[in-house]
C-alpha cells in the first residue's frame, strides 16, 4: 500500500504537469492504469465531485495540482477488500480468527467489518498495548482480541477470536499466529512495495511519453527525441511536418466522439505503419500529428506525402469505409541557423504552412516559404496595430445595399461591413484582420462599435423622416456567447430609439452548430427586443438543413458563391429553388448573397427569393455614399449590371 501511495503521488505530479488537462483525459489515463494494476483501484474526483463524497469511503488520497499549484482535484485509491482478505486468510489463520486492518482511529481499512468495539480498540491503541484484551461481540459474547501495529501508515492488525473452554490454547495459538501474521504481512508488503515501485515507475515513464488515446508518442516525448536528433545529426537533411486531418470535426459530429477516437487511433497506426522503422512522430493535439522526416530533395518529400495519401487510401479500415480521410500537410525544411530555434517554433512553422493550404479542397501539401513568412509578419504587424486603430477610429462601417427583387428592385436596407482604413497600409478588407481579432476576443469590441455607429446613423436618418430601411450587422461567435450580449444590443437599440424590425443581427452557421438550444433561447430573447435574426453563409457548412428544423430564425442568407462551385448549373438551381421553397414554408425570408450576374438575378426572382445582396446591384460603400444612394434612388428600381463586363 505504501508503494501504491508512492504511485499515486507520482501520478498526481504527472497529471498536474500535463495541465491543461481535462477530467475526461485524466479518467481515460486512470482507466488504463486500473486495467494494468489489480492491487489498487484508482479514481479521480475533481474539486466539485470531492465535496459530495464521503471521505470515509476511500482509504488514501493525494491532491492533484496544476503548474500554478492550484488544486485540480484528488486522486484516491482503494485496495479491493478481497485481495487483503484472501491474503490474510490464506497466509496464516484460515478460519480461527477474524482479522481486520485498522487505522489509528480504529476505522477499518480492510477486512471484515462489524465485529469491533471501536471504543475499546481506540483505548488499546492509545495505550500502545500489544496484549490480548477482552472485547464485546454483537451478541454480547465475550471475545479476546489483539492489536498488532503494522509498520505502514500507522495501521494495525486486529484479530478477534472466540472465547471458548479451550481459551488458553486458542490464545496461545492465536498469539503465535499473530506474530507470524504481522511479520509475514510485513515481509509481503515490503517485497511487493519494492516490486511495485519499480513497476509503477516504468508505467509512469511510459505514461509520460505516450499519448493515451492513440498510443503513439506525445508531444513532450517527440520534442525530447527531435531535439536530440537535431543536436546530433545534420540538421539540413531534416524536415518537420505537421498534418491535419481535414473535416475531422465533421467525423466527430456525424459518428460521435467514440468513433472519432477510434479513427484517430487507426490514423496513428497508419502513420506508424507507413513510416520507416521507428519513425519519429507524435500526436500534437486533437486531430493534428507532427513528425520529423529525413529527406534529400523537396521533390522527394512531396512524393513521400503523395505515397502517404495513397497508403491511407489503400487501407480501408472498417470504421471509416464510407468516409474518406483527407490529409493536409505543411512542411518546414530546417536551415543551418535553425539550431537555436525551439521545436515548438519549428513545428509551428510547419503548422503555418499547413494552414496556408488547408482551405483548398482535397489532400494538400505545402512548404513553409517566404510568402508565408511575409504573411505571418504582416499579420503580426496588423495585430500589434489593432488597439491603436480602435482608439483612432480607423475601423469604418461600409454598407452593401440589399435589393428587394420581388418588390421592384428597391433598396430594402443594407449590411454593415467593416473596413480598416489604415494610415500606412491603406484600406484593409475584414478577411485579413477579423480572424486575428477573433483569436483574442477584440472582435467583440469591434462588433459592438460597428453596431453603435450603425444605430447612430440610422437614428439621424430616420429623424429626417425618410422611408425606414433595414440595417444588418454581423455578430461574431464569441460576441454572441457574452453574458451581456442581448442586454448590450437591446440597450443601444433603445438609446438610439430604433423601431422594432429595422435592426438585423447576422449569425454564421458555425455559431449555432454546437448548441442550438442556447442559440434558440438567445433568438427568442432578441425577438422580444424587436431584432430580426438571420443565418449567414447558409450552404457553406454541412448540417444546414438540420439547423433550419430547430432554429426560430427570420432570414436565411444563401451564399451563392458557394453554390457556384458546382459544375452542373441545372442541379445547382434545383437545390437553390428547393431551399427557397422550404424556407418560405417555414416563413423564413431568403437573401441571396454574392450575386454577380443578371441571369442569376432572373433565376432567383423566378425561384421566389426575396432579396439580393451582390455586386450585380452594388458593392459595399461608405455610409455617406449609401445615404446618398438612398436619397437619389428614393423608391426607384435598381437595374442589375453584370460584373463580367
Ligand atoms: P459576410 O458577412 O458573408 O459578408 C458578405 C461578404 O461578401 C462581404 O465581404 C461582401 O463584400 C462580399 N460580397 C457581397 N456581394 C458580393 C459579390 O457579388 N461578389 C463577391 N465576390 N463578394 C461579394 P467582406 O466585406 O470582405 O466581408 C467578409 C466577411 O468578413 C463577412 O462575410 C463577415 O463574415 C466578416 N465581417 C465583415 N464585417 C464584419 C463585422 O463588422 N463584424 C464581424 N464579426 N464580421 C464582419
Ligand atoms: Ca454577414
Ligand atoms: Ca455571408
pLDDT in tens, 415-432: 999 999 999 999 999 999
Q: Which three cell numbers stand for residue 438?
A: 477573433
User: What are 580-596's pLDDT values in tens digits?
Assistant: 999 999 999 999 999 99
Q: What is the pLDDT of residue 123?
A: 85
pLDDT at 57 over 50: no
Q: Is the pLDDT of residue 94 over 50?
A: no
Number of independent structural domains in the chain: 4
| Ligand 1 atom closest to residue 616's alpha carbon, by position in its atom list | 18
Question: Residue 186's pLDDT is what?
Answer: 63
CA-proximal residue: ligand 1, atom 19 (nearest): 594
pLDDT above 90 for 500: yes
Residue whose CA is at the smallest distance from ligand 1 atom 3: 537
User: Of 368, 402, 431, which closes a domain?
Assistant: 368
- Is pLDDT at 491 greater than 90 in this prediction? yes
**389, 395, 396, 417: residue to mutate for ligand 1 pocket, most atoms within 8 A of CB:** 417
Residue 425 lies in a domain: yes
Domain of 289 in residue numbering reads as: 217-368
pLDDT of residue 105: 79
Q: Which of 273-287, 419-433, 435-449 has the lowest mean pLDDT?
A: 273-287
578 in the same domain as 447: yes
241: three-class secondary structure by DSSP: strand
CA separation, residue 67 to residues 12, 201, 205, 223 (Å)? 12, 21, 19, 19
Asked if 119 contacts 105 with a C-beta cutoff of 8 angstroms, the reply is: no
Whether pLDDT at 560 is above 70: yes
Most confident of 14-18, 122-126, 508-512: 122-126
Q: What number does the ligand 1 atom closest to the CA of 398 have? A: 25
338 and 403: one domain? no
Q: Looking at 208, 235, 264, which one is the last position of a domain?
A: 208
Distance CA 145, CA 162 (A): 9
**Nearest CA, atom 23, ligand 1:** 594
CA nearest to 211, candidates 273, 251, 267: 267
DSSP-derived 3-state class of residue 249: helix
Cβ neighbours of 330 (radius 10 Å): 27
Q: What is the pLDDT of residues 352-367, one digit of tens each?
A: 999 999 988 899 999 9
Determine the residue of 398, 428, 434 to mutate for testing ligand 1's pocket, defined as the one with the most ligand atoms within 8 A of the Cβ atom: 434
Whether residue 382 lies inside any domain: the answer is no
Mean local confidence (pLDDT), 253-268: 88
pLDDT category of residue 95 using cuts at 50, 70 and 90: very low
Q: Is the pLDDT of residue 617 over 80?
A: yes
Three-class SS state of 525: helix
Residue 75 pLDDT > 70, yes or no? yes
Ligand nearest the Cα atom of residue 538: 3
Query: Among 91-105, 207-221, 354-368, 398-412, which is the least confidently predicted range?
Result: 91-105
Domain limit, last residue, from 368, 401, 433: 368
Query: Which one, of 609, 595, 512, 507, lies nearest residue 559 by Cα?
Result: 595
E strands present in 338-407: 364-367, 395-404
Query: Which residue minimizes the CA distance to atom 45 of ligand 1?
Result: 474
- Res. 70 pLDDT band, cuts 50 70 90: confident
For residues 612 and 592, the answer to whether their CB atoms sit within 8 Å is: yes
Cβ proximity of 100 and 84 under 8 Å:
no
* Predicted pLDDT at 252: 85
Give the closest residue to 9 by CA, choosing from 67, 63, 81.
63
Q: What is the pLDDT of residue 64?
A: 84
Whether 364 contacts 329, CB under 8 Å: yes
Please tell me whether residues 198 and 329 are part of one structural domain: no
Given a cut of 80, is residue 380 above it in pLDDT? yes
Q: Which pLDDT value is given to residue 217?
A: 92
* pLDDT on residue 96: 45
**Ligand positioned closest to the Cα atom of 539:** 3
Do 425 and 348 share a domain, yes or no? no
Q: 321 and 204, same structural domain?
A: no
- Give the pLDDT band (50/70/90) at residue 42: confident
Both 305 and 198 in one domain: the answer is no
pLDDT category at 81 given cuts 50, 70, 90 is low
Which residues have a beta carbon within 5 Å of ligand 3, which is an ion? Answer: 536-537, 593
Q: Does the residue 180 lie in any domain?
A: no
Question: Do residues 153 and 102 touch, judged by C-beta distance below 8 A?
Answer: no
The answer to whether residue 534 scores a pLDDT higher than 50 is yes
Question: Within 10 Å of residue 278's Cβ, how many Cβ atoms?
Answer: 7
Q: Is residue 527 part of a domain?
A: yes
Query: pLDDT at residue 343 above 90?
Result: yes
* Residue 69 sits in the same domain as residue 86: no
> Rounded to an integer, what distance in angstroms lies between the CA atom of residue 259 and that of residue 319?
7
What SS3 class is residue 194?
A: helix
Least confident of 530-539, 545-554, 567-576: 545-554
**For residue 32, pLDDT beyond 80:** no
Residue 175 in any domain: the answer is no
Residues with CB under 5 A from ligand 2 (ion): 474, 506, 536
Same domain, 100 and 225: no
542 within some domain: yes
Residue 640 lies in a domain: no
Quote the ligand 2 centre to 278 CA distance (angstroms). Answer: 49
Ligand found nearest the CA of 443: 1
Q: 503 Cβ partners below 8 Å, 6+ apart? A: 454, 455, 458, 470, 471, 472, 473, 489, 493, 530, 531, 532
End-to-end CA distance of the chain, in Å?
83
Q: Which atom of ligand 1 is nearest to the CA of 620?
A: 11
pLDDT digits (tens, 9 = 90+) for 472-484: 999 998 999 899 9
| Residue 215 pLDDT > 50 | yes
Residues 481 and 618 in one domain: yes
Closest ligand (CA of 511): 1
CATH code of 269's domain: 3.30.70.270
The mean pLDDT of the chain is 84
Residues 6+ apart with CB under 8 A from 66: 16, 19, 20, 72
pLDDT of residue 542: 61
Which residue did the predictor score with more confidence, 164 or 179?
Answer: 179
Beta strands, E only, 295-394: 327-333, 364-367
Nearest C-alpha neighbor of 402 from the set 536, 263, 553: 536
- Ligand 1 contacts (CB < 6 A) are 400, 417-418, 429-431, 434, 443, 447, 450, 474, 476, 536-537, 593-596, 613-615, 620
The answer to whether residues 254 and 339 belong to one domain is yes
**What pLDDT shows up at residue 405?**
97
Residues 257 and 203 reside in one and the same domain: no
Q: Would you state the pLDDT for residue 20?
A: 67
Q: Are residues 536 and 396 in the same domain?
A: yes
pLDDT of residue 515 exceeding 70, the answer is no
Task: pLDDT band for 30, please (50, 70, 90 cuts).
Answer: confident
Mutation test residue for ligand 1: of 390, 403, 430, 510, the one with most atoms within 8 Å of CB: 430
**DSSP annotation of 106:** S
Q: Whose CA is nearest to atom 30 of ligand 1?
A: 430
Burial tier of 131 (Cβ tally within 10 Å: 0-12, 13-18, 19+)? exposed
Atom from ligand 1 closest to the CA of residue 397: 41
State yes or no: pLDDT of 146 exceeds 60.
Answer: yes
Q: Does 171 map to a domain?
A: no
Amino acid at each position: 500500500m505504501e508503494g501504491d501511495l508512492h504511485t499515486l503521488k507520482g501520478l498526481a505530479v504527472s497529471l498536474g504537469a500535463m495541465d491543461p488537462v481535462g477530467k475526461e483525459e485524466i479518467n481515460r489515463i486512470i482507466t488504463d492504469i486500473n486495467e494494468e494494476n489489480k492491487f489498487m483501484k484508482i479514481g479521480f474526483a475533481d474539486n466539485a465531485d470531492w465535496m459530495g463524497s464521503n471521505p470515509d469511503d476511500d482509504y488514501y488520497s493525494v491532491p492533484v495540482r496544476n503548474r500554478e499549484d492550484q488544486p485540480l482535484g484528488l486522486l484516491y485509491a482503494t485496495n479491493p477488500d478481497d485481495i487483503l482478505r484472501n491474503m490474510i486468510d490464506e497466509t496464516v489463520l484460515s478460519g480461527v480468527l477474524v482479522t481486520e486492518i485498522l487505522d489509528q482511529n480504529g476505522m477499518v481499512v480492510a477486512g471484515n467489518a462489524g465485529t469491533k468495539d471501536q471504543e475499546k480498540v481506540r483505548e488499546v491503541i492509545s495505550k500502545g498495548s500489544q496484549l490480548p484484551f477482552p472485547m464485546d461481540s454483537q451478541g454480547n459474547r465475550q471475545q479476546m482480541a489483539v492489536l498488532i501495529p503494522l509498520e505502514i501508515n500507522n495501521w494495525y492488525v486486529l484479530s478477534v477470536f472466540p472465547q471458548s473452554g479451550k481459551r488458553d490454547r486458542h490464545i496461545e495459538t492465536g498469539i503465535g499466529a499473530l506474530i507470524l501474521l504481522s511479520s509475514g504481512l510485513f515481509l509481503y508488503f515490503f517485497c511487493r512495495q519494492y516490486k511495485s515501485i519499480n513497476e509503477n515507475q516504468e508505467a509512469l515513464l511510459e505514461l509520460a511519453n505516450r499519448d493515451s488515446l492513440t498510443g503513439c508518442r506525445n508531444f513532450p516525448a517527440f520534442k525530447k527525441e527531435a531535439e536530440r536528433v537535431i543536436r546530433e545529426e545534420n540538421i539540413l537533411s531534416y524536415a518537420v511536418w505537421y498534418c491535419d486531418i481535414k473535416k475531422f470535426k465533421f467525423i466527430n459530429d456525424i459518428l460521435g466522439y467514440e468513433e472519432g477516437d477510434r479513427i484517430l487511433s487507426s490514423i496513428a497506426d497508419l502513420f506508424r505503419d507507413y513510416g520507416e522503422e521507428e519513425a519519429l512522430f507524435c500526436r500534437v493535439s486533437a486531430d493534428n500529428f507532427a513528425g520529423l522526416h529525413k529527406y534529400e530533395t523537396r521533390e522527394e518529400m512531396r512524393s513521400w506525402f503523395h505515397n502517404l495519401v495513397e497508403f491511407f487510401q489503400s487501407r480501408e479500415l472498417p470504421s471509416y469505409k464510407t468516409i474518406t480521410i483527407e490529409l493536409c500537410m505543411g512542411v518546414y525544411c530546417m536551415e543551418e541557423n535553425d539550431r537555436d530555434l525551439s521545436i515548438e517554433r519549428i513545428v509551428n512553422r510547419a503548422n503555418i504552412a499547413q494552414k496556408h493550404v488547408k482551405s483548398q479542397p482535397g489532400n494538400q501539401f505545402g512548404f513553409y516559404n517566404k510568402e508565408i513568412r511575409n504573411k505571418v509578419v504582416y499579420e503580426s504587424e496588423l495585430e500589434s496595430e489593432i488597439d491603436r486603430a480602435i482608439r483612432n477610429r480607423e475601423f469604418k462601417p461600409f454598407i452593401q445595399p440589399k435589393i428587394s427583387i420581388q418588390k421592384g428592385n428597391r433598396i430594402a436596407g443594407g449590411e454593415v461591413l467593416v473596413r480598416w482604413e489604415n494610415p500606412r497600409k491603406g484600406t484593409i478588407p475584414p478577411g485579413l484582420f477579423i480572424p486575428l481579432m477573433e483569436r483574442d476576443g477584440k472582435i467583440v469590441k469591434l462588433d459592438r462599435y460597428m453596431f453603435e455607429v450603425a444605430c447612430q446613423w440610422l437614428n439621424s436618418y430616420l429623424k429626417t423622416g425618410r422611408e425606414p430601411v433595414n440595417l444588418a450587422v454581423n455578430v461574431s461567435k464569441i460576441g454572441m456567447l457574452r453574458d451581456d450580449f442581448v442586454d448590450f444590443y437591446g440597450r443601444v437599440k433603445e438609446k438610439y430609439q430604433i423601431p422594432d424590425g429595422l435592426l438585423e443581427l447576422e449569425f454564421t452557421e458555425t455559431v449555432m452548430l454546437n448548441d442550438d438550444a442556447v442559440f434558440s433561447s438567445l433568438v427568442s430573447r432578441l425577438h422580444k427586443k424587436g431584432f430580426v435574426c438571420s443565418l449567414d453563409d447558409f450552404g457553406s457548412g454541412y448540417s444546414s438543413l438540420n439547423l433550419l428544423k430547430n432554429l426560430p430564425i427570420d432570414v436565411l442568407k444563401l451564399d451563392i458563391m458557394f453554390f457556384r462551385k458546382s459544375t452542373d448549373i441545372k442541379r445547382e438551381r434545383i437545390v437553390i429553388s428547393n431551399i427557397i421553397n422550404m424556407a418560405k414554408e417555414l416563413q423564413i425570408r431568403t437573401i441571396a448573397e454574392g450575386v454577380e450576374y443578371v441571369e442569376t438575378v432572373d433565376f432567383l426572382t423566378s425561384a421566389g427569393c426575396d432579396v439580393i445582396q451582390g455586386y450585380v446591384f452594388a458593392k459595399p460603400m461608405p455610409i455617406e455614399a449609401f445615404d446618398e444612394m438612398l436619397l437619389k434612388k428614393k423608391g426607384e428600381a435598381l437595374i442589375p449590371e453584370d460584373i463580367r463586363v
